[in-house]
Amino acid sequence: MPVRRAARAAPGGQPDGGVSSGVGAGRRGRSRVSELLALEHVSKTYRQRRRVVVTAVDDVSLALGPGEILCLVGESGSGKSTIGRIVTGLTAPTGGEVRHDGRSVSTMTRRELRAHRLGVQLVQQDPFASLNPGLTVAQTLLAPLTRHFGLSRAAARERMAALLADVGLTPPELFGAKYPHELSGGQRQRVAIARSLTVEPRVLVADEAVSMLDVSIRGSVLAKLRALCEERQVAVLFITHDLAVARQFGRGHSIAVMQHGRIVEHRPTSDLVAAPEHEYTRALLAAARHEGLRRRAADRTTPRRRQDEQVDAQIGGGHPAGTGDAGRVQ
């Protein structure tokens, strides 16, 4: 059965027919004053050989306010990561408009663009690849603190220690001296989160930020990220292929489901999970439930996973931990 595309919103914000009354739900009733970051009818196309045009993003409108979490869910190739690259400024849209604090990014001065890029930080999928293997944790965190804030060495170290404590890596002296290969996967991702927070961003884009972590430690990393963003009123665009993860991280907020470059359903998390309207959303939800059953049936945790889980459980509680097994700030 062919999948219908989401209807464009008519003036006034209501869909003019289509698959889901939830499309564009995150933008209804919101004034531009309350918008921290907004995408208006954004599209992105790529031209391949033989003049073939591939549409990665097709007429997408989304908005984020301070402290708001929007989970963007879709399978590989749905266009969700392209949205993340557009939001962070790593790629420019072919059409439409991106606004930050009510200002169109396309009309910003060089100085304003620099502030925009610092204010929107990326937490990448692979924490090992995103961290410089030749730098210690301390060197990774101190560089942006001294470069962008002009802090003294002592003040920067004090700030670094506070960031490590915030992400649950204590004592900071122990973790600051370590290299990425000396950390567990969960610890590396916590360092990546701390690095993204060094420049005090207002928006975080987390692109499959826990997909490479063992299931046993995803929950603690997600809980820490969510708590930090709520405390700082940082907006989060959380990109994932896993609707179960989106349900966990986006509780009390909203989920947008993306297919073939378009938003097919956008509703509050509880409503979307309880009664999905679009057939693609229902398929993703069924897949998430099946995967959950499979994991429980195959609950044969290896010793290595147990060690990683124990280490992350300790640091998640703020207690001193052992060594464990071996974004972008510009």
**Following DSSP, what letter does each residue of 20-77 receive, concatenated?**
-TTTTGGGTT--GGG-SEEEEEEEEEEE-GGG-EEEEEEEEEEEE-TT-EEEEE--TT
The C-alpha atoms of residue 4 and residue 106 are separated, in whole angstroms, by 32
C-alpha separations of 149 from 21, 144, 191, 198, 199 in Å: 45, 8, 19, 10, 8
Class of domain 25-316: alpha beta
Assign 210 a pLDDT band (cuts: 50, 70, 90). confident
- 292 CB neighbour count, 10 Å cutoff: 13
Q: Please state the rounded mean pLDDT for residues 258-274.
A: 95
Q: Which two tokens stand for residue 258?
A: 């993306």
Assign 267 a pLDDT band (cuts: 50, 70, 90). very high
- Residues 130-181 have pLDDT tens digits of 889 999 999 999 999 988 888 888 999 999 999 999 998 989 999 999 999 9
- Give me the DSSP letters along 189-228: HHHHHHHHHTT--SEEEEESTTTTS-HHHHHHHHHHHHHH
Side chain identity, residue 240:
T
- Residues 85-134 have pLDDT tens digits of 999 999 999 999 999 998 999 999 999 999 999 999 998 878 778 889 99
Nearest to 167 by CA among 185, 148, 186, 193: 193
The ranges assigned to domains in the chain are: 25-316
The C-alpha atoms of residue 243 and residue 20 are separated, in whole angstroms, by 17
Q: Specify the 3-state DSSP secondary structure of 146.
A: helix
pLDDT at position 138: 95
Assign 319 a pLDDT band (cuts: 50, 70, 90). very low
Q: What is the mean pLDDT of the chain?
A: 80
Task: Return the percentage of the chain with pLDDT > 90, whole number.
Answer: 54
Residue 26 scores a pLDDT above 60:
no
| Sheet hosting strand 254-259, strand order edge to edge | 120-123, 203-207, 235-240, 69-73, 254-259, 262-268
The C-alpha atoms of residue 24 and residue 99 are separated, in whole angstroms, by 16
Residue 73 scores a pLDDT above 60:
yes
Assign 185 a pLDDT band (cuts: 50, 70, 90). confident
- Asked which of 27-31, 39-43, 272-276, 278-282 is least confident by mean pLDDT, the reply is 27-31
